[in-house]
Chains A and B, each alone.
Chain A
Amino acid sequence: MNPITLIARKEGGELLMSGRGLAWLLALSIIMSVLSLLLVSNTELSLLDNAQVVYMVMGTVTTLGALLAVVLGSDAVAGERERGSLMPLLLAPVTPSQIVFGKMGGQIAGWVVMYLLSLPYVWAVGSSGQNLTQAVTYLALFGTPVVLGFGFLGIALSARLRSVRSALLTSLITLMLLASPLLLGPSLRQSTIGQLFDAVNPFSAAVNTFDSVVIDSQPISMQLTRLSIALVWLVLTAVFAIRSMRKMEI
């Protein structure tokens, strides 16, 4: 069997097949349920806000996916080191890039499950049906590169910083910085610095696309630049992760 598939199956199995491993999935479903119930209790929302509710859920799912990715990525190499299982992995006939992509296999499985789990919530809150299909499609199209990019970043930092705690802390701070557009809103990002930040931030690309597609019903032709930003982020973080694995000190 291909080494990447082998590592991916092991990682995915630990994440999804063990009873304890499924605890994160329970936590995720509880967070989404609480968010949905809070929305039910708000009677002052206009029909326009229904699209905003869907947008909000999409942003939350992407953030939670990125959070899962940085946690798993931070543990990917440094965790193996701390558990004493890194040396056997490095002695196995696998290249650094195979290790990285194998580890990402587990993250992809986690993200796919998280995405599927979020679909009932997106359907439930999108009662008006406004751009619901687009919401589901664009969450996959933009959420996937953004989330997996954070996974690659976590692996890279995990390899370079040699400690789960340091890698996790650095990854989380990076995630908070990049995910700040979700909290700040568009009006606070109108300054030159805010616009520059938006122009290069993959998280902004995803969030602005969700806004553009779900709330403003704009076509995909207007999202291509943002999609390229998300894809560039994915490629750059993948390269960073592979280089970090290659340069890693035992």
Chain B
Amino acid sequence: MKKIIVRLLLTLFIMGAGNARAADSLSISLAPEQANPPSPQMGDWLKFHSVIENPGTQTAHGVVTWISLVQVDPGHEQPVDLEDWSAHKAVTQAILQPGQKVNVDWPMRLIQAGAYRVVISAVDRETGHVMTSPFVDFQVRRKPVVESGRILPVAFGVPVLVLGMIAWRRYRRSTAV
């Protein structure tokens, strides 16, 4: 029994020592760029600025930071596939020394209208949990995907133009005879 208790304590000590080597936690800030449009609409670009800092006393290894976007419209709550939204989905940092900061910009093209919440998350190799930034919410205004102002003149104008050409050919032929 004693042996088991000693082994258990030893295991806990080793695990504790392992965690002690990891960075306690990373500090992640997130803020929208000041140059962002105040009322963005579909097609606009937004940029978010984040600072990932290691405030602890231990070096963080293999830090991976990524952006997540969630749609929060009532009834349409869902994570957004960033394939078409964001140019940078993840940023890696091999070593983050104590006190070291990394600035990352996250440009984003607004694809669909709605209310959204963006957050930056990070993990390092040793820490066993995800560290996240505060949320930033934004609203994307709808922009018509196909503009009737462009389509209607073309949709009605081109057939009329072709009809005009046919009529002109017929007129020319009849006057020639």
A121 to B150, CA, bound (A): 9
Q: Are B158 and A29 in contact (CB under 8 A)?
A: yes
With contact pairs A17-B169, A22-B162 given, residues A124 and B112 touching in the complex (Cβ less than 8 Å): no
Contacts of A18 in B (CB 8 A): 169
Interface string of A201-231 (1 = CB under 8 A from B): 0000000000000000000000000000000
Do B159 and A53 touch (CB < 8 A)? no
In the complex, what distance in Å separates the CA atom of A144 from the CA atom of B4? Answer: 78
Secondary structure dominating the interface of A:
helix
Task: Annotate A37-71 by CB proximity to B: 1 below 8 A, 0 otherwise.
Answer: 10110110111111001000000000000000000
Question: What is the size category of the interface that chain B forms with chain A?
Answer: 20 to 34
Q: With A36-B155, A124-B154, A125-B146 known to touch, is A26 a contact of B42 (CB < 8 Å)? A: no
- Residue numbers in B under 8 Å from A33 (CB-CB): 154-156, 158-159
Per-residue CB contact flags for chain B residues 136-177 toward chain A (1 = under 8 Å, else 0) read 000000011111101111111111011101100110010000
Known: A29-B159, A46-B112, A47-B110. A19 touches B166 (CB 8 A): yes
Q: How far is the CA of A5 from the CA of B52 in the complex (A)?
A: 70
1/0 contact string of A102-123 vs chain B (CB within 8 Å): 0000000000000001001101
Across the interface, name the chain A residue whose C-beta is closest to B41: A47
* Residue from B111, B162, B173 in contact with A26 in the complex, judged by beta carbons closer than 8 Å: B162
- A127 lies within 8 A of B154 (CB): no
Interface residues in B6-23 by Cβ distance below 8 A to A read none
Q: Is the CB of B111 within 8 A of A36?
A: no
* Contact yes or no, B42 A47, CB < 8 A: yes
Cα distance A43–B146 when bound, in Å? 9
With A and B bound together, what is the CA distance between A153 and B55 in angstroms?
Answer: 71
A26 x B159 contact (CB < 8 A): yes
B98 at the A/B interface (Cβ < 8 Å)?
Answer: no
- Assuming the contacts A33-B156, A37-B151, A120-B154, asked whether A22 and B169 have C-beta atoms less than 8 A apart, the reply is yes
Of the residues A19, A34, A128, contact of B145 by C-beta under 8 Å: A128
Name A32's closest neighbour in chain B (CB-CB).
B158
**A22 adjacent to B150 (CB under 8 Å):** no
- Of A29, A32, A36, A47, most B-chain CB atoms within 10 Å: A47
User: Most A CB atoms within 10 A — which of B42, B145, B154, B158?
Assistant: B145
A30 at interface (Cβ–Cβ under 8 A)?
A: yes
Q: Footprint of B on A, CB under 8 Å?
A: 17-19, 22-23, 25-26, 29-30, 32-34, 36-37, 39-40, 42-43, 45-50, 53, 117, 120-121, 123-125, 127-128
